[in-house]
Structures are given as C-alpha cells and as structure tokens.
C-alpha cells in the first residue's frame, strides 16, 4: 500500500493531463485523499497490508505526521470541490488541469518526505515540494503572486541548499559509517564526531528551518501564504511546515542518541523565541488577514521548536501542538478562502459585519481563532499548558514569563482583527458585494472546517488510548 | 594538479565579485563548470567508476554547457548588459571576497584531527565559495545576478561534497543534480515571467508585498 500511495498520484497526473476535465480533477484528488487516509487507517487495523519498502516506511516516528497530512489533505480536497468550481469560471480547463496536477505532485512530495527513512531521500522530496508548490503560489499570475513565488523559490532553494551542506557535513561526522538511513544513524550515533554533528545541525536547522518558517529565515512565508489560493495556503501551513519539521526532528534524535544535544537545544530555543517575537511585532502591523494567519504559523512553528528544545513533558506537548495547529490552521485558512470569495479583498479594513453576511463563515472564523489562540478546550490549550509546565519544572522562570507575554501579545493582535472583521460597523458598498457573492460558497466550503475544528476541540479534552500511545512513541521511535 | 584546479576555481569567485558585466558572469560559470569537470576527472579515484562517470558527465554537460546556454539566451532576450547598482563598490567587493577566500585557504592548511576525513584544500575553497556567493546575493540588484550567484553557490556545494574523502551515497549525487534542475526551473520559468510582468529585472521591483501596505 505504501508503494501505491506513491505511485498512484503519478498515474492520476497522467490521466488528468490527457482529459482536462474539472469534475475529473476533483474526483481524482478526492480519490487520492481517500486512499491516502486508508493507508493511515491500515496502519492501525492491518499493518501487514502496508508492505515492505526499502527506502519508505510507516512507523511510530512518522505516523502522526502522516495522519495529519491525510486528514488535512482530505479536508482540503473536499473544500476544493466547491472552491475549484469558482476558479473554473475564471480560468481555462488547461490551467485547472495544471492546478490539480500540481496539488497531486505537491502532496506526493510531502508524502514521500514523511515516509522516507533516509535523510538524503527526505531532502530530495522536500526540494520536490518547492517545485510543485511554487506553481500553485504563482497560480493567479498577478504581479504580487509572481513576487511571492519568486521569493519562495529563491529563499527556500538557498535554505535547502544549506541543508544539503548540513547533510554533507553529517556524512563527515559519521566517519566510516556510510549511510543516511535514520535508524542506522541513530544506532551508530555514539561513535559520531560531536564537532561535525553540531556544525551539520546548524546548517540543517537553518536550511530546513527556512522551509519550516522559523525566524530569522521566515521571509518567504507571509508572502507565499497570502498570495496562494486558500486551499493551497492551508496545505502549505498545515502540512508542508510539518514535513520540514519532521526532518529536523529526526536529525535532532540523532543528536540525542549521540549525547550531543546542548548546542542543538540552545539553537532551537533561540529560533523558537525569535519566531514568537517576530510574530508579536509584525502581526500587530499587518493589514492583510491572510498574512496575519501566516504570521500565526511562524509563531506556532516557534512553539514547536521551543517544545523540542525543552524535552521531557514538552515532547508530548509538541505532538499535541503539531496536530492541533495543523487542524485548526487548515480550518482557519480555508475559512479565509470563504471570506475572500465574499469580499474579494484581503484587506482587514474592508471586511466588517461578517456575522451579518454569512453566519456560518463568521462562526468558523471565530472558532478557528479561539482554537489557534489556545482557548480551552482547544488542543493548543493542552499543549501550551504542558510547555509552561515544562518551563516551570526546569526552572526557566524568565523564559516562561517571556513565552506567556509573547503569546498574550499575539492573542491580542489577532483578537483585535477577528472581532473587528466579524462585528465591526458595516460599509454599505462591501456589504452589498458580499451579499451578492454568498452564492459562491457551497456546502463543501463549510463541512471540512467544521470537521477539523470538532476534532481539534474533542482531542483537547479526550485523547483516545491508541492516539496517546502513538503520540508517546513518536519521539521514542 | 588537482589543487591547482581547485585554486583556479576559487579565483573565479574573485573575478565574479569584481565584474559587473553579466556576460562575464556567465563566462565565469563556464570556467567553473570546466574546472569542476577536471577536478572530478583527475582527482577522485577513491570513488567507484560509475559515480565518477556520472559526476563528470553531469558537470560538463549541465554546469559548463546547458546552464550557461540558458543564461546567454535569457541575456539576449532581456537585453541585459551590466549589474551596475551593487550596494558595494568593486574595490571593496574584491577586498571582502579575497578575505573570505584567504579564510578558506587558512582552513585548508589547518592540521586538526577532525579534518582527517576531508580533502582540506577542497573543503576550504568550497566553504569560501559558498560564503562569497551568499554574500554576493545580498549585494547584487539584478535578479539574473542573484540566479548566477545561486548557481555558483551550488558549484561550491558540489565541491564540498567532493571534499569528503569517502564514498558519498549516490543519493547525494542525485541531490546535486536536483539542485541544478531547480536552477533551470528558476531561470526558465520565473526569470522570463518576471521580465514579462515587470518589464525589467531589478530585485527592488519585487518588494510590493509588505505588512504596512494594503495588498488586495
């Protein structure tokens, strides 16, 4: 089945290329999303169905990342059924075909990156995600989308090239052991040169940190997330960043096995706090609600880096946060797609009285905001609570205070925007336009967000035993 | 002899940092491609023959012929001649690049046990090339110059991978090739699209997306 999940998108791409039909585009994307999810389910019910593969595998270390990708992709594919109908009115069939093909290649690359058990192979797939998603960011072909895509490709390519330098340095660290397989690296980590391990981690962290959106190498992220079509923004934020993070996490595990983790922890803490700081400062000035969501992604990636650095109880928080952020942020970005369809603008100032125009979108907007800002019972409340506890257990009181302060500033910045957008005084001109556009929002553009938010809030109060086990195993495996 | 080629490779970076003519930049890329080919062919017999064959053909074909051809085509199409608006004068560029290259040489003469796994000259010059390229990206104003510095950085990384005195996994070589594809992708798709959309190739014109302005 693992081979199938990697081969099928290529076959689907060929079919789409020859038929150029919008309905077929949606059917094949949804079909692939269903197959993708079924592999995740098979892992729990019938693991023998997954089969053996030399370079790819589904195990305790990557199953959470895979499941998150499956759920978000399924939600995006359902949303895309309604969204692409609106796009198809503006763009020719050929362009819609390319859009669908690139989505399949993008998800294929992310899947390959998550499933690969070899650092070199994971790096190749991460590079593949850049190639596929660049087209999707550039999809609208406006001056701004070209700018965003250019920055994305150029900055991420430099980042990925630096990560490659890190991989070369890691091969120096490994000495006589000639492998990039994660398990082999972890098993032999004790014999590695600590000096070269530390140097290679710096390059890998900065390189893949660029892709993950960690400050100070995050510059592409707000532009790319805001210019891409909303389903793509959801995929970029909720799944692509996780893929890059998984590779960093695997290299970090090698550092852990080599007992050479103090330097790596310091680096992660610095980049994590810097990401929170950047979000707190820039979120306050942004005038574009999609950029606001992009900055929130930088913040949450920073929280993941901090949780990794803290260790102990924060490891559990890390996986909870990763799942919660992906579900809620995907929902937030998809809902932003509804807002954009209604008001035809990304300017915060132009959007008021959302609650009077489309109650369902307004509620989704508020629920996503409450979820991302860690209001209980959101999963993020649990994770952030545990991270604070980890700070206190390790007696990092000043860092804990700084963490809480920066989170509060971010919460205030987002609350200000969300409340104004939903309850602010209406402008007649925009009000009429949005009322007219409400027909563009089909049912499939609400259901995925409701499902993901429900899941994120339920998991905030009750984590089933099987999920608890895989969360705990993710960092041990 | 290999060390001679490596030093010549390092010197091409000095040439790149002192010239503003874009055609000269492309010529320097051709020189780098040929030098990398010679370094691969002459000095790396510790690798299996098929890897050496793959590397030599790849460097000669892609780095010395295909990419420069692409770049020349773009130069003709866009009528670009010079990148005269660099943030730093040529003299200082030369000075800073020389200092970085000197640092690279210093790394190569260090006698540290942790450097036993690598070819020191190759490692030092590769590191200097990567740093000079990254620095040049930050000071050049034309998009095409940025692409050229990106490719020189890739060449530096390629040299770095050659510096490891053990058999590198084939995946790493595929990785290098994939990087080259990225360069061609950037060149082929974006550079011409940006030129079509914006009418010129200035980095400064790609700065509309800001937080303080209203971007619809």
Q: Model confidence over A134-179: pLDDT tens digits?
A: 989 989 888 888 889 888 988 998 999 999 999 989 988 888 788 8
Chain A residues 370-389 with CB within 8 Å of chain B = none
Q: What is the mean pLDDT of chain B?
A: 80
Task: Give pLDDT, residue A324.
Answer: 96
A416 to chain B, any CB pair closer than 8 A? The answer is no
Best A122, A129, A154, A289 residue to mutate vs chain B (most B CBs within 10 Å): A154
Per-residue tokens: A242: 């996780």
A179 to chain B, any CB pair closer than 8 A? The answer is yes
Q: What is the ipTM of this complex?
A: 0.90
Average pLDDT over residues B175-203: 69
* Closest chain B CA to residue A124: B175
CB contacts, 8 Å: A286 with chain B: 211
State the count of interchain CB pairs (< 8 A) between A and B: 129
CB contact under 8 A, B175 and A167: yes
Radius of gyration for the alpha carbons in chain B, expressed in angstroms and rounded: 18
A465 to chain B, any CB pair closer than 8 A? The answer is no
Task: Give pLDDT, residue A20.
Answer: 85
Poorest-confidence range of A257-261, A380-384, B92-96, B207-211?
B207-211
B111 to chain A, any CB pair closer than 8 A? The answer is no
Residue B4 distance to chain A (closest CA, Å):
23
Best B196, B215, B216 residue to mutate vs chain A (most A CBs within 10 Å): B215
A121 to chain B, any CB pair closer than 8 A? The answer is yes
Q: Model confidence over B24-83: pLDDT tens digits?
A: 999 999 999 999 988 888 876 666 777 778 778 888 888 888 888 888 888 887 777 777
Task: Give pLDDT, residue A75.
Answer: 97
Considering only the beta carbons, identify the residue of A127, A175, A347 that sits closest to B178.
Answer: A127
Is pLDDT of A216 > 80? yes
Q: What is the mean pLDDT of chain A?
A: 92
B84 to chain A, any CB pair closer than 8 A? The answer is no
Task: Give pLDDT, residue B169.
Answer: 57
Task: Give pLDDT, residue B187.
Answer: 65
Task: Give pLDDT, residue B35.
Answer: 93
Poorest-confidence range of A300-304, A332-336, A425-429?
A425-429
A151 to chain B, any CB pair closer than 8 A? The answer is yes
- Categorize the per-residue pLDDT at A95 as very low, low, confident or very high, splitting at 50, 70 and 90: very high
> Cα–Cα distance between A192 and A180 in angstroms, integer?
13
Best B167, B169, B179, B186 residue to mutate vs chain A (most A CBs within 10 Å): B169
- Categorize the per-residue pLDDT at A471 as very low, low, confident or very high, splitting at 50, 70 and 90: confident
CB contacts, 8 Å: B135 with chain A: none
- Categorize the per-residue pLDDT at B200 as very low, low, confident or very high, splitting at 50, 70 and 90: low
Q: Model confidence over A332-367: pLDDT tens digits?
A: 999 999 999 999 999 999 898 898 999 999 999 999
Q: Model confidence over A311-323: pLDDT tens digits?
A: 888 999 999 999 9
Average pLDDT over residues B99-127: 82
Average pLDDT over residues B166-184: 67
Residue B15 distance to chain A (closest CA, Å):
22
CB contacts, 8 Å: A158 with chain B: 134, 137, 150, 153
Task: Give pLDDT, residue B144.
Answer: 83
Poorest-confidence range of A436-445, B61-70, B163-172?
B163-172
Task: Give pLDDT, residue B60.
Answer: 87
B165 to chain A, any CB pair closer than 8 A? The answer is no
Best B211, B213, B214 residue to mutate vs chain A (most A CBs within 10 Å): B211
CB contact under 8 A, A143 and B208: yes
């Amino acid at each position: 089945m693992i081979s199938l999940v990697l081969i099928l998108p290529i076959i689907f791409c060929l079919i789409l290329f020859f038929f150029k039909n919008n309905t077929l585009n949606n059917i094949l994307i949804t079909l692939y999303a269903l197959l993708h999810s079924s592999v995740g389910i098979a892992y729990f019910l019938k693991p023998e169905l997954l089969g053996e593969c030399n370079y790819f595998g589904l195990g305790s270390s990557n199953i959470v990342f895979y499941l998150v990708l499956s759920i978000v992709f399924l939600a995006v594919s359902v949303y895309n059924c309604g969204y692409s109908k609106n796009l198809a009115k503006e763009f020719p069939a050929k362009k819609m075909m390319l859009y669908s093909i690139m989505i399949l290649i993008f998800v294929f690359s992310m899947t390959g990156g998550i499933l690969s058990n070899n650092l070199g192979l994971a790096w190749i797939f991460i590079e593949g995600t850049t190639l596929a998603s660049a087209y999707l960011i550039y999809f609208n072909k406006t001056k701004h989308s070209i700018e965003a895509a250019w920055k994305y490709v150029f900055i991420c390519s430099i980042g990925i090239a630096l990560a490659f330098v890190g991989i070369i340095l890691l091969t120096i660290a490994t000495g006589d052991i000639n492998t990039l397989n994660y398990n082999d690296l972890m098993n032999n980590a004790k014999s590695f040169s600590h000096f070269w391990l530390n140097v290679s981690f710096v390059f890998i962290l900065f390189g893949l940190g660029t892709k993950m959106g960690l400050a100070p190498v995050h510059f592409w992220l707000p532009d790319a997330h805001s210019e891409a079509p909303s389903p793509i923004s959801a995929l970029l934020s909720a799944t692509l960043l996780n893929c890059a993070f998984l590779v960093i996490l695997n290299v970090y595990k090698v550092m852990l096995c080599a007992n050479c983790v103090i330097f790596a922890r310091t680096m992660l803490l610095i980049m994590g706090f810097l990401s929170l700081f950047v979000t707190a400062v820039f979120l306050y000035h942004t005038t574009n609600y999609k950029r606001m969501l992009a900055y929130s992604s930088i913040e949450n990636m920073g929280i993941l880096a901090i949780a990794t650095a803290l260790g102990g109880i924060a490891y559990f928080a890390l996986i909870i946060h990763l799942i919660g952020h992906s579900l809620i942020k995907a929902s937030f970005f998809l809902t932003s797609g509804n807002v954009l369809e209604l008001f035809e603008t990304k300017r915060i100032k132009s959007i008021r009285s959302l609650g009077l125009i489309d109650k369902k979108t307004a509620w989704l907007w508020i629920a996503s905001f409450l979820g991302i800002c860690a209001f209980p019972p959101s999963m993020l409340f649990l994770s952030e609570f545990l991270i604070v506890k980890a700070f206190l257990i390790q007696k990092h009181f000043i860092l804990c205070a700084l963490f809480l302060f920066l989170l509060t500033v971010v919460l205030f910045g987002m609350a200000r925007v969300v409340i104004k957008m939903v309850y602010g005084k209406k402008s007649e001109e925009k009000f009429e336009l949005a009322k007219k556009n409400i027909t563009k929002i089909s049912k499939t553009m609400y259901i995925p967000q409701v499902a993901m938010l429900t899941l994120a809030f339920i998991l905030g109060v009750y984590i089933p035993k099987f999920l608890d086990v895989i969360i705990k195993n993710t960092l041990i495996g | 002899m290999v060390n001679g080629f490596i030093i010549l490779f390092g010197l091409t970076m000095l040439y790149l940092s002192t010239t503003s003519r874009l055609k000269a930049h492309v010529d320097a890329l051709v020189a780098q491609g040929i030098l990398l080919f010679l370094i691969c062919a002459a000095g790396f017999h510790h690798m299996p023959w098929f890897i050496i064959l793959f590397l030599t053909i790849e460097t000669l074909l892609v780095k010395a012929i295909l990419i420069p051809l692409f770049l020349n085509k773009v130069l003709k199409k866009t009528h670009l001649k010079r990148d005269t608006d660099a943030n730093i004068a040529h003299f200082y560029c030369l000075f800073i690049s020389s200092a970085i290259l000197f640092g690279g040489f210093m790394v190569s003469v260090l006698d540290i046990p942790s450097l036993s796994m690598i070819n020191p000259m190759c490692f030092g010059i590769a590191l200097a090339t990567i740093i000079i390229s990254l620095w040049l990206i930050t000071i050049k104003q034309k998009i095409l110059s940025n692409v050229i510095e990106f490719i020189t950085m890739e060449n530096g990384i390629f040299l770095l991978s050659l510096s490891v005195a053990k058999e590198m996994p084939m995946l790493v070589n595929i990785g290098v090739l994939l990087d080259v594809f990225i360069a061609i992708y950037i060149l082929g798709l974006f550079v011409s699209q940006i030129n079509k959309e914006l009418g010129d190739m200035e980095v400064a014109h790609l700065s509309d997306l800001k937080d303080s302005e209203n971007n619809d």
